[in-house]
Structure formats: C-alpha cells, structure tokens
Structure 1
C-alpha cells in the first residue's frame, strides 16, 4: 500500500513541478505555420539543359543554402526539407510572407559586368556599343538595330545582356560579359561571379544604407575584381567611360553588380586597386530592407539549381489564430463531453479518470513547451488533432480497467479483491492496445512528411504518457480507494454494481 501511495504522490509532484517550471521559465508551445500564420512553398528544380538528372547532392546543397537564407531572416524554427525531388519550405511567423517566398527561391547568380551604356527603357542603345557585343555585325546598322532591344535576364556570364534597374524606374543597361578570372590555369573558363565573394553585410553609412563586400584573397577573389577595376578606371574598350569619378572628375567606366538580370548598383570606378574589404555597393536610395536582403543573398551564395514555385501558400496570422481557437474549442468540448460521460457512468471512478487525464495533460503540456523552447518542436493543427484523438486513447484505458473491475464484482468477488485482480489484467490489455497505436504513430512519423508527422508525433507522445499516468496514478489511487470501507459498502457511488451476498442478485 505504501508503494502505491508513493507512486501516486510522486507522479502528482512531478506533474505539478513540471507545470510550475513551465510557467516560471516562460516556456510555451511553439506554434506551427498553420496556427500562427506564415508562408509555405514547394520548390521544384528546373531540368538541366543537357537533360541530365539533378543529383541528390545538388538538392541537399540547395536545402542548406535556403536554410541559411531563412535563418538570416530571423525566423524561429522554420522547416526546410526535401520531398523526393522537390523542396518544402515552411516559414512560420514571418510578417512579409511574399518577400520570404521570393527570397528563398531566388537563384541569385551575382556577376560583375562592365557597363557599356545606360538608357531609358524603350530607347535603342548606340550602335557603337552594341558592336562591342556583336563585332561580327559591326558596320551593319540594320543588323545592330535589331540586337539587344529587350531585357535578357537569362544571358550567360560570357554574353552581353540587357538588364533593368532594381527600383523599377524604367532604366535599362547594356552590360558586357563578366570578365574571365585571372587564374585561368586553376579555373579554366571561370568568370567574375559571386563565387569571388567571402561575405557581405548591410550597414548604415552617412545616412545611407550600403552593402559592404569582402572578397576572397587572390584569384578567384580580389585580384579578379581589381583586373576589371583597372579596365574601368582607364576607360578602355572593355569598360568604356560612362561616368565621372567623384574624386578626379575624369571620365571613367562603371561596374554593374547584376543579379538575375537586375542591376543592384552600378558605381563608377576611379581607382584600379582595392583592398579585400574596401568595396561597397551603394546608390539608388537603398532602403534598409533592400540592403539586408541583398547582403543575405550574397552572403549565402547562389543556388546550384534553378527552382520554381510549384505550390505556395500564405497563411495570415488572423487565420492562424482562428485555427488555433477552433482547435482549442474542439478540445474543450471533447474533454467536457468525455468528462460528463465518465461521471455519469462511472461516478467517483470517473473522477479518478478525469484526474488521470489532468496528470497526463500536465506532463504533456510540460514536454510540448520544453521541446518547443529547446528543440524547436512546433505544434501544428495536425498535432492538435493528434492530442484530441489521444483523449479517446486515454479514456479507453480507463474504460478497460473499470469494465474488468465491474465484471469481477459481478462474478462474486469483493470490491477489494476485484480491484487487485483486475488491474494487472487490464493494464496488460491497455499496453497491447497502446503499443498498436504507437506502432501506427512510428510508421506514420518515419514514412510520411509534413503535417502527418506532427499528428503521429503528438499522438505517440500522448499515448506513452497515458501508460505512465495509468500505471503510476490511476491504478494506485483506485487501489487506495478500495481499502476504504466506503467503496465496499457503497459501490454504486463508484459505478460498481452492488451484489447481494445472500441472493447473488446484481444491481447497478
């Protein structure tokens, strides 16, 4: 008896301690995308031009880069995972959902290109400048007039291109090819792209947001940028003069920082030699958000494959709150109906069953809050559904025990004897039933993706805690009650049938 009392008191203390710890430490369940709002997108890789299959290594690298970009947004516990050949990105709690979706899938191939000419959109470029890109058509005015009339964002690094301005002001740029790297022996055919960068950071400089770039040493790195800077500072044919140096007033060339057909900045280059961390992208009235987005994309590199959104979903915070409220209401209603049923049918035994639910619920809340705070386990709507279903699993455990107990009493056993005999048999049945639920939960968790995993995880967790509460609380408490005279003399108060010792007549 003392051992049973120790079990019951011990688990109550553990449950209360968990609740107190959770409240005092400020832990709370981490809500998933569908409960707090956010953005979700499924990204599908574009096929390779040569028809070759996209490897798992390329997709894994894309997942890592996207995860770094999302982490840079300051989002708490996003989910980035592969689903076969697609990539699922779920970003809960982000305020600007559309911006987040665009940012994570941006290929972001940065190239440093010489600026050949800047003009208003719709105005033709000078034939002399077009001839620099198409020397085979030099002198043929008609042929040159038909070239580079529209933006060409898909142009390769070794081709000229027409790019547009980032701010959408109707400006277009004729850009030359990204120059070859200085060290062609080590990098044959490689050109001046974002691979030469080491890091990038946005900062406020003289009331203007800029992006400070740090290059790698040597080549690929600062040596390659300085080679282009040398051409632009001298205004050569590779980088003709299109601007004025603010330091000397001389006509010098400009370097365009181009990303996916958009010119982020096109500063004049008046000197031919820079230090690794001396280059700054500025101009265009860059806002804080634009500067930070640009630095984020540059810092974590370009994706190794082009990704297109296959399916995107934006959940507003209001809709998430509505879903959470609906889940809470459903849980409360379900719990209330179950409690009424237990009280009407099992009376004081029903009170014990409800107390057992409270104990397992306190333990479950403590664990969910701790896992959300320390491990990033998010509670989704599917998880809430799993928790609601687990109420039924817990009630089944109580019903199995109570019905075994009533059956033994009907068979002529005393209440105390029936309690002692029924619990081991009933608990064995409960374990077998719960193990079946656990097997289903484990299979669902490991063989499915997305929200089904959340349903399986929380259902499995609640099932385990139900076994603990049944063994350490419900069983010991009912055994303790059976030792009191009131349970034997007034069994109907506990939902147990009364058996007349003389007539063996059973009354409920």
Structure 2
C-alpha cells in the first residue's frame, strides 16, 4: 500500500473545494465574507411560513406542474415585498415553505388563492342572523360614474379599514394591451384568512354531493325541506315557525355551509356572514355559477355569475390619486376591457331587471361587487358605462396598496393552500441560537478529543486530525452548497453535525480496538494495522451506511427543520467516510513504521504490546536456557 497516494487525493479534494469556496459563482466581498455559510432564519432571524396544498373534493395532492406554478407565483408575490434573499421552496408533494430572513411579518396572504371576480349584485339581505323581515336595503358601499375627462371614478365606502384592504390577495394575470384610464371604486371590507374545514365537522366525503347529503342528515329532514322550499329570504315575522325549523343551519361549520346551494345560503337567515366569511378557500371559485358573499360582515349578497375575472386584468399598480390617497389601479386587457364595459352597461341600465330593489344603490343603479376569493372587497354603484380602467380604493397605506397590487399583478394560484405553521424569530434570538449551537459543537468535539488523548495517546492525534479535517470538509461543503443549491444552515443542521461526531468517534473505537485484538493475537504493530483495517472496514461501512439510510429516509418523509437535521447528518456522515478512507487508514500505516508506535507508553497500545511480549517469551527456548 502507498498511503501517500490516498493523502494526495484528499489534498486534491481540499484544494478543489476551497477554490470553489473562494472563487465560485456567488462568492463576493472580502475573504471573511466568502467564508460565511448561508444561515437559516433561526440563526439570523426572520419569518418562515409552511403552506399545505389542499383539495376540497378528493384530497389528492396537486400535480407537480401546478405546485411549481404556485411556487413561482408566491415567489413573485414575496419578492414584491422588496425583501432581499427571500426563499420559496417546495417540500414533498403538497407543501411550499416561504422564508423571509431578517424581519418578522405576516405572510398568510401570500398563499391566498387570489381569485379576482367582478359580479353584479342581484339581491341583498341581512347576514347578521337577526333577520325578522324580508330584508332592508343595505346602504351602498360606493358608486362609479363617468368623469368629465372621459375616465371614470368611484367613491369608496367611508368605513373601510386599511387593515382589511391588505387582507385579500388578489386576482389573475392576463396578456394584452392596456386600455385607457378609468375607475370604478372599491373599498375594502374586513376579511378572514382562508380557513380549513372545521375540526368539528364530520369527515369530508369524496364528492360534493355526498357532503351535501351529510349536511342534510345533520340538520334533519324538516329543516332541509323548509330551506329548499324558500324562494326568498325567510320572513320570521310572517311565519314564526320557520325560525325553529331553520335553526339547525346556524350550527353548521363553514365547510358544511360551503357545500350548500347559493340560493339556500342566501335565503336561510340562520346562515350568517360569520359562517360564510370562514368558508374554505376557493368555495366560490366557479365563475359560471352564482355565489353568496358578505360585505363588512353584515350585508349578505346574492351575486351573479362572474363576467369579468382576474385573467382579464393586465396590470395593477399602487398609485396616489388626486386626493393623495393610495389606490390600486387596474389595467384591463383588450378583451377584458370589452367585458368590463359590457358589465357596467348591464349594471347601469339594470338590463332585464336582474337587480331587485334590495340590491340597488342610492341612485337606483345596480352595484358590481369586486370579489377576492370568498369575500367582497367593495360593491360600488355603477353610475355610468365605464370604457376605461378601474381603481380599487379604500383606506390604504403604501404598503397595503403595494401588496394588493402585487398579488393582482402576479395572478391567481392554481392550487388552494392552507397555512400550517408560521415561525417568527428575532435577530437577537437567532444570534443566541448560533452561539449556543457553536458552543455545543465545540464542547462535543473537545470532549471527544480529551477522551481520545487520555485513552489512546498517540492514536488520539489521529482522531484529532481526522475530526479537524472532517470539520473543514463539512464547512467548505456548506458554503458551496449554500451558493449552488440554496442550502441554509439551521440550528437543527448544527444538531445533526453534533450527532455525527458520535458516529465518527464510533468508527475510531472500532478500528483501534480491532488493532489491539490483532496485536494480542501475536502480530507486530506493522502487520496488525492492515489486518485490523480489513476487518474493521466492513463494520465501519455498515454502521455509517445505517446512519446514512436513516438520514435519507428522515429527509424524504420530513419537512422544515427536521429535513435540515437529516441533510446535515447525512452530509457529515458521507464526509466522515471520505476522511476514514483517505486519511485515517493511510496515516495509521505511516505511524506503524515509526518507533513511537512501538512504544506502549506513547502509542496508546500499552495493554496490547506487553501481552504480546509475555506470550512471545515461552516460545523461545533459548531465552529460558540462557
């Protein structure tokens, strides 16, 4: 064996690795900056949100194409926040993880379905659950009318809040030439985040029809028959018995309410806006069906089919209007502008009398609701045929308007997501985690080295050098992988590397104890080293292979921090095997040729070498005679 060749190969690996560290793509700044690995949020602070893709009908995961498209749209939305080094990655077949380093913020909106719909308001009633008469006409939330210059404007509802405007994430993206400027207005109403089915709901059946039958069974035949017979919102003053019959509908979860027909949702007074606002995401996604939604949490509207949708919007921008208020300006595509003009003409003329008296505005004109996902952002009264673009107005600040415009601009998600976990880590806490992790790693390595020198003496230097080389390999690999594949070192990753120290120490023990056994069997140290290596090698490989397989399985089935732990453990285990084969065995072969290795006091083989000497004397009769 020529140990020099193996050591040369190891040296070559180090040279290539650290050339990549200092000079590969992404390396910039001074030498210190180039040696910094990419740190995770738990070490430098920031926000991480895990979004899980859901399907309300069959529960199957989305296709890989849809998941990747959703990841791209969410990444565009996050980048619109102007945050450096934001990271959006897929995990498994249904999760997307959004990470924003260096700050804390609410990220739930980036996973909203962002379906934008423009629907004519057909009917309106009270959605508070306290209806005793057919329904009073709610106060209109705004109006839209032609402006003298030929553009159009709309006045928002005065009670809109800035917080509410930031909540909906909006609409689709289309292509086409922008149209001239115009504006129907929209104000924002309080919105609830997309909710998952209620925990109290029965197990979700496989089809909508089965879900509807389960709801019918829950409310009872009497309540179901009474609700099905309604042609308008129930009048409890005219028929007090209806209140008791329809009472079971007030106990339904939002997910159960979502499977009911729009007519039943609208006509049953015990189905309230509190239930409707919390329906699962994409409950009224179908643009070809009528829908029911609420505005301001009290007014319940029956909405027409959507005749203008998010894909008809070409662009959206946050701008200041003439009153120095932040608004979201919408530019329609060519075909989208034609659809918007036709819709405003229908609403202005109330063609066919589609809008009843409860839905008309103050000037007797129909209103058009701007619907984002399950909720109404605004429902301005149309006071003229609008031939230009639109504005969504309300009590926006710059940040809220920019976020809403970004969601409108980058389109609707092809997959529905439910937020699963959001973690906020301050920078101070992250630095504390980093110090604690590095301290734990240093203490672990120090204890292994102290024990090695105490028990193995000269052989302890082999352990020390091996651990140093392994640490350098792991560190260089972390820096390169952070630039090339975006791997970030987290606190869980540091824990994985600390665990790998124990795996490395085990391989030393296996080799050195096997070496002692060979010497006790009568072999010289020089001949015992290669034989001990051959017999210990299989055990070392098997032990590391089991650890590596465990890390791979854990990486595949886990998400988040656990995945980082598994990756770091697997990486450290592989590099430990490289050091075992290219450094530990060659250096032991070289040590076996030195006189120090033959000294029991220096080598650490003290208990094995004397035993060999005592066994050798009886075999030499000449020594006994002398």
- Shorter-chain TM-score: which interval? 0.7 to 0.9
d(CA) in 1 for partners of 2:116, 2:62: 22
Verify the 8 A CA contact 2:318 2:328 in the aligned structure 1: yes
Of 47, 50, 56, the match for 1:38: 47
- Secondary structure at the aligned position of 2:394 is classed as coil
What is the CA distance between 1:463 and its match in structure 2? 1.6
Query: Which digits, 9 at most, give the CA deviation of each residue in 1:64-120, with x for residues without a partner?
Result: 42652245213633344457xxx544333356756202431x2433222457999xx
Structure 1 position 109 matched with structure 2 position 115: yes
- Secondary structure at the aligned position of 2:396 is classed as coil
Who is 1:347 aligned against? 457
Who is 1:194 aligned against? 310
Label 1:328 to 1:112 Cα distance change in 2 as closer, same or farther (>3 A): same
Who is 2:87 aligned against? 77
Verify the 8 A CA contact 2:52 2:95 in the aligned structure 1: yes
Of 89, 99, 108, the match for 2:106: 99
Unpaired stretches in structure 2, ≥5 consecutive residues? 28-33, 80-84, 129-134, 142-230, 239-265, 618-626
Structure 1 position 397 matched with structure 2 position 492: no
Q: What aligned pairs does 1:336-375 form with structure 2 within 5 A after superposition?
A: 336-375=446-485
Who is 1:226 aligned against? 341
What is the CA distance between 1:362 and its match in structure 2? 1.2
Structure 1 position 493 matched with structure 2 position 602: yes
What is the CA distance between 1:347 and its match in structure 2? 1.6
Label 1:429 to 1:128 Cα distance change in 2 as closer, same or farther (>3 A): closer
Who is 1:273 aligned against? 387
Who is 1:407 aligned against? 517
Q: How many residues align?
A: 461
- Secondary structure at the aligned position of 2:107 is classed as helix
- Secondary structure at the aligned position of 2:108 is classed as helix
Who is 1:258 aligned against? 371
- Secondary structure at the aligned position of 1:65 is classed as helix
RMSD (Å) for aligned C-alpha atoms: 4.6
d(CA) in 2 for partners of 1:180, 1:262: 13
- Secondary structure at the aligned position of 1:56 is classed as coil
Verify the 8 A CA contact 1:58 1:304 in the aligned structure 2: no
Who is 2:217 aligned against? none
Label 1:127 to 1:324 Cα distance change in 2 as closer, same or farther (>3 A): closer
Verify the 8 A CA contact 2:87 2:100 in the aligned structure 1: no
Verify the 8 A CA contact 1:412 1:499 in the aligned structure 2: no
Label 1:174 to 1:405 Cα distance change in 2 as closer, same or farther (>3 A): closer
Query: Which digits, 9 at most, give the CA deviation of each residue in 1:277-309, with x for residues without a partner?
Result: xx2424325323222321333244445676555
Who is 2:393 aligned against? 283
What is the CA distance between 1:374 and its match in structure 2? 1.7
Structure 1 position 5 matched with structure 2 position 7: no
d(CA) in 2 for partners of 1:20, 1:305: 43
What is the CA distance between 1:201 and its match in structure 2? 4.4
Q: What aligned pairs does 1:302-341 form with structure 2 within 5 A after superposition?
A: 302-303=412-413, 308-309=418-419, 311-317=420-426, 318-341=428-451
Query: Which digits, 9 at most, give the CA deviation of each residue in 1:449-491, with x for residues without a partner?
Result: 4444333332222222111111111222222233333333x34
Label 1:291 to 1:338 Cα distance change in 2 as closer, same or farther (>3 A): same
Structure 1 position 213 matched with structure 2 position 221: no
Structure 1 position 22 matched with structure 2 position 10: no
Structure 1 position 56 matched with structure 2 position 94: no
Query: Which digits, 9 at most, give the CA deviation of each residue in 1:405-458, with x for residues without a partner?
Result: 223333333332222333333323322322232233333333444444333332
Verify the 8 A CA contact 1:115 1:173 in the aligned structure 2: no
Structure 1 position 454 matched with structure 2 position 561: no
d(CA) in 1 for partners of 2:574, 2:100: 30
Q: What aligned pairs does 1:55-204 form with structure 2 within 5 A after superposition?
A: 55-57=60-62, 61=66, 64-65=69-70, 68-74=73-79, 76-81=86-91, 87-93=94-100, 99-104=106-111, 106-114=112-120, 126=137, 153=277, 158-159=290-291, 161-164=293-296, 177-178=303-304, 181=307, 192-202=308-318
Label 1:54 to 1:444 Cα distance change in 2 as closer, same or farther (>3 A): closer
Label 1:205 to 1:96 Cα distance change in 2 as closer, same or farther (>3 A): farther
d(CA) in 1 for partners of 2:613, 2:123: 111
- Secondary structure at the aligned position of 1:263 is classed as strand
d(CA) in 2 for partners of 1:59, 1:211: 33
TM value normalised by structure 1: 0.73
Query: Which digits, 9 at most, give the CA deviation of each residue in 1:392-414, with x for residues without a partner?
Result: 11122222222222233333333
What is the CA distance between 1:33 and its match in structure 2? 4.9
Label 1:20 to 1:349 Cα distance change in 2 as closer, same or farther (>3 A): farther
Who is 1:466 aligned against? 576
